[in-house]
Structure 1
Amino acid sequence: MDVKSSFLNGVLEEEVYPYKHTLYIKFNSGGDILIVCLYVDDLIFTGNNPKLISEFREAMIRQFEMTDLGLMSYFLGIEVSQLEGEIFISQKKYVGDILKRFNMDKAKPILVPVEEKLKLTKNGTGDFVDATYFRKLVGSLRYLTSIRPDITYGVRLISRFMESPRQSHLQAAKIILRYIQGTQSDGIFYSKTNDSSLVGFTDSDWAGDMMQRKSTSGYAFYLGSGVFSWSSKKQQVVALSTTEAEYMAATSSARQALWSRRMLGFLQHKQDSPTKIF
């Protein structure tokens, strides 16, 4: 649903301190649940009871001037395709816009987002490049990582060099652009399944950061058929061995698993069995 004139629905007569509460959840004694996600003047909602959903829709239309856009197909740059028992999310249009904006829509596609054994340093190689241009490029790619875990590591890597980027850093960014050129339609597919166990995967490199010699941790968590949570982040301290780097990566993923289990329990989707992390 889309709220018309969202900033004109009331007169403020007192001092207001903004609070970014964007997720609302309603339960009832019968086990029904309604989830509403609000972003400025757009909102999406879902639940397990069609009657509860219908009542919410009608109440919002009575209270505010709103447009009912029907089944979600596009939200904040994310395209959503829904069929019976299946959901596919992607950002094909956004990818196309990025490629055109940075004149890479005719570039030759490649198969990987990061060259094997790529090592980037702060000094880099080649001349300095326009820092504003580079930051816009990295910022565009970072938004794409919201549903593209396959480029998260590469984008986080080039994000470390936005202060004084050189040709080698820009070249690494263009490699990612060439990769998404060949994977514009890629996204995340979710299908209805009876097995909705939380499962995680984790890994790390060792001393991959050539400046501080810090390692990078990564994890991805699946719930049923599709991945829903992932991260690639430089570790806070220097690992003295590969074992220590792996241990810190495993610890990071275990923290995420605990948070996810608590959240799933709150959403009435309690995980009864232990969470496996590979």
Structure 2
Amino acid sequence: MSEFSMKDLGLVNFFLGISISACKGGYFLNQSKYIHDLLNRTGLFSSKPINTLLSSKSLIASDTSPPFYDPSLYHSLIGGLQYLTFTRPDIAFSVSQVAQFMHSPLDIHFTAVKRILCYMCGSINHGLFILDGSIGSLTC
């Protein structure tokens, strides 16, 4: 404060799309508003939630699947999902799988992206709980 003028704005509540809630013993970080906006943009907000992500097997590029009609939409959704991995490590593997096909996405790859989004629809309030310097995945 001796070098620059500063003002105490209190506890942080929302920063760079991440909601921060003070809970007993730590802080809970989630991106439910960002997920909500992403699901609304894709028209999947009212879709049926699913409990599982992609299988652990890698998506294999298939010559039988046609190219996805809107690669820029695919790129945008992958970017949004990658941003969500900051507070949602549970989707990191699946997002990295679909991100491998950014150069030429096929319909099968977009179907996998929609599956991730349907999973997010059912787990919109999940996030990270930071407790005494350790991180765990919980809800608050």
TM-score bucket of the superposed structures, by smaller chain: 0.7 to 0.9
CA contact 1:125–1:167 (8 Å) conserved in 2: no
Give 5+ residue unaligned stretches, structure 2: none
Task: Within 5 Å, give how 1:142-153 maps onto structure 2.
Answer: 142-153=82-93
What is the deviation of 1:120? Answer: 1.7
CA contact 2:45–2:121 (8 Å) conserved in 1: yes
CA contact 1:125–1:168 (8 Å) conserved in 2: no
CA contact 2:19–2:30 (8 Å) conserved in 1: yes
CA contact 2:66–2:107 (8 Å) conserved in 1: yes
Give 5+ residue unaligned stretches, structure 1: 1-58, 197-222, 228-278
Work out the CA distance in 1 between the residues paired with 2:105 and 2:16: 29
Alignment of 1:178 with 2:88, yes or no, is no
Residue 226 (structure 1) aligns with:
136
Q: Which structure has the highest strand share of the two?
A: 1
Q: Which structure has the highest helix share of the two?
A: 2
Report the secondary structure of 2:22's partner residue: strand
Which of 65, 77, 88 is matched with 1:126 structurally?
65
What is the deviation of 1:96? Answer: 0.3
Work out the CA distance in 1 between the residues paired with 2:63 and 2:82: 21
One-letter amino acid of the structure 2 residue matched with residue 103 of structure 1: G
One-letter amino acid of the structure 1 residue matched with residue 92 of structure 2: T
Which of 17, 25, 32 is matched with 1:85 structurally?
25
What is the deviation of 1:168? Answer: 0.3
Count of matched residue positions in the alignment of Structure 1 and Structure 2 = 136
Q: TM-score, normalised by structure 1?
A: 0.45
Work out the CA distance in 2 between the residues paired with 1:146 and 1:81: 16
Work out the CA distance in 2 between the residues paired with 1:119 and 1:81: 36
What is the deviation of 1:95? Answer: 0.5
Alignment of 1:104 with 2:14, yes or no, is no
Higher RCO (Cα < 8 Å, 6 or more apart): 2
Work out the CA distance in 2 between the residues paired with 1:124 and 1:151: 26
Work out the CA distance in 2 between the residues paired with 1:102 and 1:132: 13
CA contact 2:58–2:97 (8 Å) conserved in 1: no
Alignment of 1:137 with 2:77, yes or no, is yes
One-letter amino acid of the structure 2 residue matched with residue 128 of structure 1: P
Alignment of 1:63 with 2:8, yes or no, is no
Q: Deviations over 1:210-248 (max 9, x none)?
A: xxxxxxxxxxxxx3x626xxxxxxxxxxxxxxxxxxxxx
Work out the CA distance in 2 between the residues paired with 1:136 and 1:177: 13
Work out the CA distance in 1 between the residues paired with 2:64 and 2:36: 29
Q: TM-score, normalised by structure 2?
A: 0.86
What is the deviation of 1:102? Answer: 1.2
Q: Deviations over 1:169-191 (max 9, x none)?
A: 00000000000000000011233
Task: Compute the RMSD of aligned alpha carbons.
Answer: 2.1
Report the secondary structure of 2:20's partner residue: strand
One-letter amino acid of the structure 2 residue matched with residue 144 of structure 1: L
Report the secondary structure of 2:100's partner residue: helix
